[in-house]
Amino acid sequence: MYCKNCGTEIADGSRFCTNCGFDQQEAGTRDVSRYGDNGQRPKTYLVLAILVTLFCCLPFGIIGIIYAARVDSAWNSGYYEDARIFSRKAKNWSLWGIALLFLFWIAYIILILAGVTWAAWWADDDLFFTHLL
């Protein structure tokens, strides 16, 4: 069983959480319409966030990991809408990290091509002027 307030695993049948002291019997009074459960736990996107951290963009990946770690805790606490929001934010931050990587590589290739073109253009002019002398 998990605490309905903080998500810490507690012994079955416990009335109070050993971590936060929340009364588990009061948990039934929460507004269920706001935190309604559609029956499906959202994806955490933790693996994606870790891969983004390792291979793409460190800051975006770390933020993705933080949100991904909050999904299960919120779901186990009964905050289903918050769990969905954290899942969506983990996915978005990770995808933005991947997009930033692709933009970086596109800009890098454009700059390399511009540099090669510029160098070739000046190299041709130097050859032209050396033959005139």
Quick: pLDDT tens for 65-112. Answer: 999 999 999 998 888 889 999 999 999 999 999 999 999 999 999 999
The CA distance from 73 to 113, in Å, is 49
Range 45-72 average pLDDT: 94
pTM above threshold 0.85: no
Range 23-44 average pLDDT: 63
Range 39-49 average pLDDT: 91
Determine the pLDDT at residue 20.
76
